[in-house]
Structure 1
């Protein structure tokens, strides 16, 4: 290679490096897109809108929430996986979209781990077992007895096939030796009208979206799936307290950017999200939503993501949950 060609390549490399450095230092200079891979109305949507509003104030740029529902969260997640890794597109993921979906859909067009840069573990929230007022059950045992009398005619809803809600419902049915028909929806918000109308018999829904409905009397909450009672629902027994040994399911929420997002931008995004998470107004909102905020480093979320894969493999094998 001649000296002149080497000089040109070296100059080009220096120019590219300078442009990248400038882009990182200038970030953000335009609006951000915050993708929710589920339909509006569910907990992922509610939490996202609180956090995105706080981030917009701090960054001085709009943070636009965009719902891209479908395929158990895969449509919105894949959109972000394919986006430019420049810090302007992020996705609000869950243990299903960024952990257990890898088990259910091994041939997905993207990899939930390799194709994303973790930003922060936003928090955890367990599920609540809820029924409409038309179902005559005030505790879990009464629900199981009622389901047994329906001889398989009852049904249960989930936010998506393969979700934590799906696994929890099948765990209840298997442990109780009763049957019910699974009806998957595109998000908890889409399922709720049918549950409220009594067309669905029961549902394991995220505690944040269940509590307001239970407090208003529109649904009846029978138990929660946390290892111990959530501070947001101290009067609601756990499934273990209801007599179901080892019945503990805690979901998580996390923010992810596309893989190869520059580390300085990823760390800035993580810091901004954590700041929004702990904003005084946000903390008041979490109390009403039944959401337990955490906030971590990118590496801590990556560790949680990998660890959950082993846990959910065991749970899915035991319950026999499948996604057609």
Structure 2
């Protein structure tokens, strides 16, 4: 972006509240194009659905520039579990409440993807075990303390390639280039439209002038469409999105919020 804009860019990490602290700061910043947000599914699809005391509205308080990439979720199991997703579902139905799955925490994108999967596969009775991050959940999966985790494809690949875990399905419209032999959830279960990815976006504060947004969008697309950069993203399990526009990005955020709303309500999750 610095090269494309011929302008130095400083990355400032504002950790906390799944990105909400940094997002709130950007939402309140001057709408001059000099303060941008690198947001995620958590900050722009889930935050307003989960928060009891929201500090910003992910649609009204931002001017999206582009959705830049997505990391598909995956259903990952210990090798002691059935070898296909269809067989896993059958086993859960035959033994309700026996299987538990781990996620990086209550209310995270991966937790809610797990809840969405349970409904899609036939209202499965699978317990949720929240962890403080993906790494401890994966450790317990390796130790067979839990039978399943919902993680991203990229972060599961090392253990998958070492034959320590099985990735039964990916939650994307098409198979992952990183693991082309693994079916999608829809392929494995005969469902339609099951997609869940941890996506990222570039956004500016609401009210940023359209010519400024257009310039930022052009610079963003210069980066995302770069062949070398795209290859680097794919190697770590992120699919670059090269055709996003400010208008389509806003529509995408609204669609994702609407899609996750019934999942959040069914899970009964609220976070301060």
- The TM-score, its normalising length taken from structure 2, stands at 0.81
Structure 1: distance between partners of 2:219 and 2:182: 33
- What is the CA-CA distance between 1:93 and the residue it aligns to? 1.9
> Residue 64 of structure 1 aligns to a residue in which SS?
coil
For the 8 Å contact 1:152–1:181, the answer to whether it is kept is no
> Residue 122 of structure 1 aligns to a residue in which SS?
strand
- What is the CA-CA distance between 1:129 and the residue it aligns to? 0.8
Distance 1:247 1:271, change over 3 A: closer
Q: Which residue in the other structure is 1:140 paired with? A: 85
Structure 2: distance between partners of 1:81 and 1:189: 31
Structure 2: distance between partners of 1:131 and 1:297: 37
Q: Which residue in the other structure is 1:304 paired with? A: 252
Q: Which residue in the other structure is 2:29 paired with? A: 83
Q: Which residue in the other structure is 2:113 paired with? A: 168
Distance 1:159 1:263, change over 3 A: farther
- What is the CA-CA distance between 1:310 and the residue it aligns to? 2.4
For the 8 Å contact 2:113–2:196, the answer to whether it is kept is no
Distance 1:63 1:169, change over 3 A: same
Distance 1:149 1:110, change over 3 A: same
Structure 2: distance between partners of 1:76 and 1:219: 35
- The TM-score, its normalising length taken from structure 1, stands at 0.69
Structure number, greater radius of gyration: 1
For the 8 Å contact 1:221–1:236, the answer to whether it is kept is yes
- What is the CA-CA distance between 1:192 and the residue it aligns to? 4.1
- What is the CA-CA distance between 1:176 and the residue it aligns to? 5.3
Q: Which residue in the other structure is 1:284 paired with? A: 231
Distance 1:176 1:312, change over 3 A: closer
Give unpaired runs (5+ residues) of structure 2.
Answer: none
Which stretch of the first structure deviates more once superposed, 271-280 or 98-107?
A: 98-107
Structure 2: distance between partners of 1:323 and 1:274: 36
Structure 1: distance between partners of 2:102 and 2:16: 17
For the 8 Å contact 1:56–1:63, the answer to whether it is kept is no
For the 8 Å contact 1:147–1:180, the answer to whether it is kept is no
For the 8 Å contact 1:233–1:290, the answer to whether it is kept is no
Which stretch of the first structure deviates more once superposed, 213-222 or 58-67?
A: 58-67
> Residue 54 of structure 2 aligns to a residue in which SS?
coil
Structure 2: distance between partners of 1:298 and 1:216: 41
Structure 1: distance between partners of 2:173 and 2:27: 33
> Residue 174 of structure 2 aligns to a residue in which SS?
coil
Distance 1:306 1:285, change over 3 A: same
